[in-house]
Structure 1
Amino acid sequence: MPDMLVRLYDLPDPTLYYLRAEEAGASVHRAQPWNHSAVRKFVEEHFSSRWADEAELAFVRQPISMFIAMTGQEIIGFAAYEVTTRDYFGPTGVREDWRGRGIGASLLFRCLAALWEMGYAYAIIGGVGEALQFYEKLCGAFSIPGSEQGIYKPR
Structure 2
Amino acid sequence: MSDLLVSLYSTKLGELKEKAGSVSVTIRPALPPELHVVVDWVQAHFSKNWASEVAVAFSRHPVACLIAVENGKLLGFACYDTTARGFFGPTGVDPDARGRGLGLALFSAALQTMKTLGHAYAFIGDAGPIDFYVKTAGAVEIPAPDKGIYEGMLRSQPK
Q: Give the TM-score normalised by structure 1.
A: 0.91
The SS at the match of 2:91 is strand
Shift of 1:120: 1.5
Shift of 1:71: 1.4
Distance in 1 between the 2:145 and 2:21 partners?
31
Structure 1 regions of 5+ residues with no counterpart?
A: none
Shift of 1:148: 5.2
- Indicate the residue corresponding to 2:18 in structure 1: 15
Instruction: Provide, for residues 37-68 of structure 1, a one-character-per-residue CA deviation record: whole Å limited to 9, x for no partner.
Output: 11011100100011000111111111111100
- Between Structure 1 and Structure 2, how many residues are aligned? 150
Shift of 1:35: 1.5
Distance in 2 between the 1:80 and 1:145 partners?
24
Percent same amino acid at aligned positions? 40
- One-letter amino acid matched to 2:44: E
Runs of 4+ in 1 over 2 A off after TM superposition: none
Q: Would you tell me which structure has more helix in proportion to its own residues?
A: 1
- Indicate the residue corresponding to 2:100 in structure 1: 101
Distance in 2 between the 1:61 and 1:37 partners?
15
Distance in 1 between the 2:110 and 2:40 partners?
21
CA RMSD of aligned residues (A): 1.4
Structure 2 regions of 5+ residues with no counterpart?
A: 154-159
Deviates more, 1:9-18 or 1:37-46: 9-18
Q: Give the TM-score normalised by structure 2.
A: 0.89
Instruction: Provide, for residues 58-102 of structure 1, a one-character-per-residue CA deviation record: whole Å limited to 9, x for no partner.
Output: 111111111000111111100000011010000100011211211
- Indicate the residue corresponding to 1:118 in structure 2: 117
